[in-house]
Amino acid sequence: MNKVHWLYNKKGQAIMLSYMVVSTVLVYITALAIPVLQAKNLVERNRKTQEAFYMADGATEEAMSAFLQKLANFQLTNAVTLDTHTTTFTQFNNTTVTTTITRLDTNDREITEGNTKVKLCNFQIDAQAFYPLGNTNISVKVHQVFTRRMIPTFQHTVFYADDLELIPGKNMTLSGNIHTNKDMYLAFDGTGTGLQIDSLSLHSAGEIFTRMRKNSTATPSGTVAIRDNLTGAATYTNMGSLDSRTSTWEADATATWNGNVQSSVHGVTAQSAPAVASIQPTGYYALESKTSGKNNVAVINNQIWRNGLLLTEGTDYPIGTVTVTTNQFKDNRENKLVNKTVIDLSKLAGTTGTCTSGTGCLKNNLPEKGLLYATRDDTANTSTTMPGIELINGSTIPNVVSTQNTGLTVVSNDPVYIQGDYNTVNKKPASVIADAVNILSKDWNDDTNSTKDRDTYRTVEPVNGSLTTTINCAFVAGAPISTTGDYNGGLENYPRLHENWSNATLAINGSFVELWQNQVATGSWNNASYSPPTRVWAYDTAFNNSNSLPPYTPTAYGFDRVAWWRD
C-alpha cells in the first residue's frame, strides 16, 4: 500500500468516524429534544388551559350580570328556565365562552330581611371555554350555583342606582331601608339639630361619606345621627368623622351601628334595576299600556287609548278629562316654558264631568291592571320649551273593579307635575314613574299661577286653613350627577319644587327610587326657584306587604354565590 492510499484510507476512516459521532450526537440530541419539546408543549397547553379556566370563570360573572339585567329590564320573565350568553375574548385568539343558565327551583321562596320581603330562587350556570390550539381546541368547563335575590324597589325608603347625596338645610328625619348602588354622602348643612336616619338597613355598594360634599371641598358642619339599635325604642349615634375614609371603618361601623350601616367592604353589592329605556314610548311600560287586551290606559298626544282602542271625548269619557296648556308655566330650573298635557284623574274615573249627551261617558276609565302611560310628542319644542304631564284632582283613586284594590301607576318619559293632595282619600297602592317628579301645592292653580309667576316663585297659601300638601305615592325618577360646583339637589330635592314653601309642609308617604339620569328635565338645581318646606317624609309601611305594592312595581335583582366546581 503506497503512502497516498494509506492517507486516503485514514481520511476515509476519519470521515466515517465523524459521521458516526455526528449521527450518535444527533440521535442523542433528538432523544433529548423530544421530551423537551413535549414538555414545552405541555407547559403551553397548561398555560392556555389555565387561561381558558380564567376566561370561563370570568364569563360566568358577566353572564350572571347580563341575566339579572335582562330580568330587571323585563327582557326575561321571572319564571325563566333557560338563558344563554356568549363571550368572545379577542385578545386570546378569539376564544369563546358559552354560558347557560338554568333555573333549579320550581317556585320562589320568600324570606324577610328587616322589613323587606326577598324572593329567592337557585339557578345553575354552566360555562364552557373553547381555546384554539393548533388544529384542536382546549375545552374547560366551570359550574356555579347562585341564588337570585328579587327585591321590590318600593320596599326601600330610598333606592338609588347612582350616588346618593342627602345634605338637607332644614332638620330632617328619614326612616326605612336605604340602598345605593354607588357612593353615599350624608351631611347636614343648615341651622338646627341636623339629619337623623332611623334605619335598620343603610347600605352602599360603594363608599359612605359624612360631612363631605361631592360637588365641592366645603365641609358641612352639621350632625348626622344614625339609629344604633335593632330593637326597642330607637337610639342614635352621631357619625362624627367616622366614614369610609377611616382606616378601621369596616369594624367600627359594625360595632357602632350593630350592622345597620354597611358599605362595599361589608359585602354590599350593586342591584340590577330597570333602565331609562323602559319608560320611553317604545319601552316596556308604553307597550304594556297600549297593547290590546292588557286592560291598561295610554294618553298619547292628548288622546286616550284603552285596551288598544281610541276613545272619544264626551262619549267614552267626560269633556275636559285631558286638556292642553301651552307656554304658560315656566320651570325656572329648566329655564323653559312647559307645554303640559293635564290629566284630570277624577274625570278619568268618571266621578265628575259632563258628556256631549246623556251620562254615558261617566264611567271609570282608570286601568283595570293599574297602568296609565302618558306621553306627548312635541315636535315644536325648542330650546325654550319642553313637554310635561300634569296630574290634577288625584286625591281619590277609585277602584276600577269594586272587589279589587289595584291602585294606580302613572308612567311617562316626560317630567310629571303632581298638583295638590294625591291619593289621600281611601289610600290605594300608587306610584309615579317618570323623567322627573315635580310637586305643586294644593294651593296651586294653573289658570292664575302659571302665567303670573314665570320668573319668581309664588308663596304657598292655606287651603281650608291647611298649609300641608300630602302625597301618598312611591316615585321612580331620574336625577343628574353632581359635578364640581354643581350640586344635583340631593335626595332632599328629589321631588322638584317651584313655590315658596317656607311656611308650608310637604308630607310624602311612599318611596324614593332613582334609576337613571334625566333625559328631558336636565336643568341645574342651581337655577331652581323655590323655598323648601318642612319635609315630613316617611316610608309607606303598607309596602311591606307584597300584595299592597303599586301595580308594575320595578324590581331590583342581586345574587349570592352558593357553590362552584370545575370539570
Domain residues for 244? 156-266
Q: Are residues 63 and 187 in the same domain?
A: no
Domain contains 281? no
Do 193 and 339 belong to one domain?
no
Number of structural domains, the chain?
3
Residue 147: inside a domain: yes
Are residues 324 and 209 located together in one domain of the fold?
no
Task: Cell 286653613: give the residue.
Answer: 465
Whole-model pTM? 0.89
| Residue 175 within a domain | yes
Q: Could you count the other beta carbons within 10 Å of the beta carbon of residue 407?
A: 23
pLDDT band at 4 (very low <50, low <70, confident <90, very high): very low
The radius of gyration of the chain from alpha carbons, rounded to an integer in Å, stands at 33
Annotate 143-195 with DSSP letters as a single string: EEEEEEEEEEGGGSSEEESS-EEE--SS-EEEES-EEESS-EEE---SSSS-E
The answer to whether residue 246 sits within a structural domain is yes
Structure confidence at residue 91 (pLDDT): 73
**pLDDT at position 41, please?**
55
Both 475 and 332 in a single domain?
yes
Same domain, 45 and 188: no
DSSP at 263: -
The Cα 59–Cα 54 span in angstroms is 8
In this structure, the answer to whether residues 371 and 518 fall within a common structural domain is yes
24 plus 89 within the same structural domain: yes
In a domain? residue 137: yes
Report the distance separating Cα 403 and Cα 368, nearest Å. 11
- Residues 373, 227 within the same domain: no
282 part of a folded domain:
no
DSSP state of 524: -
Same domain, 164 and 150: no
The angle formed by the CA atoms of residues 92, 93 and 95, to the nearest 5 degrees, is: 75
Q: Are residues 176 and 260 in the same domain?
A: yes
| 280: in domain | no
Residues 390, 471, single domain; the answer is: yes
Answer yes or no: do 316 and 371 share one domain: yes
**What ranges in 73-108 are assigned the alpha helix state H?**
none
In whole numbers, what is the pLDDT of the chain averaged over residues? 88
User: For residue range 517-542, what is the model confidence (pLDDT) as tens digits?
Assistant: 999 999 999 999 899 999 999 999 99
More confident residue, 199 or 139: 199
**Tens-digit pLDDT profile for residues 21-37:** 556 555 555 555 556 54
pLDDT of 488 reads 95
